[in-house]
């Protein structure tokens, strides 16, 4: 968890799930698929976070990291989200 700073996106490989993007907002950790649903852009590499919104820099599409709901066109398909639990300094993602 110490690697995950507020306002940054961390790429994580999760066995059996794939590549995820992890975010910290107001001390809470959120997880989504790393791939934008509009184009094959990595949100952890090509995205940025403002509050609970992650924006893909390729076409300025955006999602709510809490629900995965699209917040800006051209994104129309929901981004998959995952439940996160913290134990000590470790982050666990439930698939």
Per-residue pLDDT tens listing for the chain (95 residues): 567 789 899 999 988 889 999 999 998 999 999 999 999 999 999 999 999 999 999 999 999 999 999 999 999 999 999 999 999 888 889 87
What is the rounded end-to-end Cα distance, in angstroms, of the chain?
19
Question: Vertex 1, ends 43 and 56: CA angle to 5°?
Answer: 10
CB of 22 closer than 8 Å to CB of 4 = yes
Alpha helices for 33-80 (secondary structure H):
43-46
Domains defined along the chain, listed by start: 9-94 (2.102.10.10)
Please state, in angstroms and rounded to a whole number, the distance separating the CA atoms of residues 52 and 11: 17
The phi, psi pair for 78, rounded to 5°, reads -65, 145
Predicted local confidence at residue 2, as pLDDT = 62
pTM value is: 0.92
């Amino acid at each position: 968890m110490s690697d995950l700073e507020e306002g940054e996106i961390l790429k994580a490989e999760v066995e059996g799930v794939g590549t995820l993007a992890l975010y910290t907002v107001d001390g809470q950790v959120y997880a989504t698929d790393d791939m934008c649903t509009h184009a094959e852009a990595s949100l952890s590499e090509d995205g940025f976070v403002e509050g609970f919104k992650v924006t893909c820099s390729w076409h300025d599409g955006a999602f709510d990291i809490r629900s995965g709901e699209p917040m800006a066109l051209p994104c129309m398909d929901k981004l998959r989200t995952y439940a996160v639990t913290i134990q000590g300094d470790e982050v666990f993602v439930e698939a």
